[in-house]
Amino acid sequence: MTVREIVTVGHPVLRQRADEIDPADINGSEVQRLIDDLIDTMRHANGAGLAANQIAVPLRVATIEVDRNPRYPYKPPIPLTVVINPVLEPLDDETVAINEGCLSVPNLRGEVDRHVNVRVRYHDRHGVAHDEIKRGLTAGTFQHECDHLDGTLFLDRVTDPATFTTWESFERFGRDAFVARITEFVERVGS
């Protein structure tokens, strides 16, 4: 198990667009080791996802997984997914306000409008191409990680600064209302 340091807001690598990975290199030991490190680091930090530039490697690969996550107990399960060179496309104009946090912004949360329905095309860790539809909070998680690969933080997407809160204040004052609203949303859209 290799847990890498997660860089935080202010580190320049978080603001640069990550480089594409040549599909011929996906099965190589360097990319496979990077994927293993991303998985180990994401799980160790209880993240729902982790992009390579969050561990200071500017390559277009991210890991996503939600399985009874203590940081996000309201999120529906997402099996371990490795996305390489993802391309994300909104399918319509429907959005939902999600109160997001980030491992690279360790003590801050804020509301971000995310597309409810997205198409995501990517290669997995074996080089297999995928073309999938993601909905609801799962779509939001994919958008958050793809933003990282483009050098965008959730901070950039918060349109109402009044929604910024520390994790502690969110837990104390905002969590119950958010969880009630988002649970109703998840039940309506299914994920």
Residues marked as catalytic = 145
- Residue 9's SS3 state is coil
Residue 32: per-residue pLDDT: 98
Helices first, then strands: H and E counts in the chain: 5, 7
- Domains in the chain, number: 1
The average confidence (pLDDT) of the chain is 94
Tokens, residue 103: 């491992």
Domain, as residue range, for 60: 12-189
**Residue 49, in any domain of the structure:** yes
* Rounded-to-integer distance, Cα 158 and Cα 169, Å: 17
Residue 72: per-residue pLDDT: 80
Tell whether the torsion through CA atoms of 163, 167, 171 and 176 is positive or negative. Answer: positive
Helix axis angle for 175-189 and 136-149, nearest 10°, is 110
Q: What is the pLDDT of residues 107-129, one digit of tens each?
A: 999 999 999 999 999 999 999 99
**Residue 7, in any domain of the structure:** no
Counting as low any pLDDT under 50, the low residues of the chain are none
* Rounded-to-integer distance, Cα 91 and Cα 191, Å: 16
Closest CA to 37 of 53, 11, 25, 55: 55
**Residue 4, in any domain of the structure:** no
**Residue 2, in any domain of the structure:** no
* Rounded-to-integer distance, Cα 76 and Cα 136, Å: 9
**Residue 60, in any domain of the structure:** yes
Q: What is the pLDDT of residues 9-40, one digit of tens each?
A: 999 999 999 999 999 999 999 999 999 999 99
**Residue 182, in any domain of the structure:** yes
Residue 74 contacts by C-beta under 8 Å, 6 or more apart in sequence? Answer: 137, 178, 179, 182, 183, 186
Q: DSSP secondary structure string, 102-158?
A: ETTEEEEEEEEEEESEEEEEEE-TTS-EEEEEEEHHHHHHHHHHHHHHTT--HHHHB
Residue 69: per-residue pLDDT: 79
- CATH code where residue 182 lies: 3.90.45.10
Residue 191: per-residue pLDDT: 67
Instruction: Give the count of beta carbons closer than 10 Å to the beta carbon of residue 185.
Output: 16
First to last CA, the chain: 31
**Residue 3, in any domain of the structure:** no
Work out the angle at residue 126's Cα, subtended by the Cα atoms of residues 124 and 131, and round it to the nearest 5 degrees: 35
**Residue 147, in any domain of the structure:** yes
